């Protein structure tokens, strides 16, 4: 299965490790993590618009973080994870 992250970005669901709401990540550690990830080139911006969520993935043993304009709740529903609960 695949997960549509916004714009024209679709990734295999098996690569998704976690989906986070970017507005509720008030932890200093999380902000520091995202800053370092961006400096090291691990972040892929889907759009220039405001980002509502970030998706931590792994492909070929490399981490990729996508910044998405779609809310984490919507992405979780699309992934089918909510249906399993």
pLDDT for the residue 27: 83
Total-model pTM: 0.87
For the chain, residues with pLDDT lower than 70 are 81-85
Burial of 57 (0-12, 13-18, 19+ CB in 10 A): buried
pLDDT for the residue 48: 87
pLDDT for the residue 1: 87
């Amino acid at each position: 299965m695949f997960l549509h992250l916004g714009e024209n970005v679709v990734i295999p669901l098996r690569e998704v490790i976690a989906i986070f709401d970017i507005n509720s990540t008030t932890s200093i550690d999380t902000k520091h993590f995202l800053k370092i990830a961006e400096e090291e080139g691990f972040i892929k911006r889907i759009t220039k618009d405001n980002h509502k969520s970030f998706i931590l993935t792994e492909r070929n043993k490399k981490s990729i973080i996508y910044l998405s304009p779609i809310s984490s709740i919507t992405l979780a529903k699309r992934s089918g994870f909510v249906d399993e609960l």
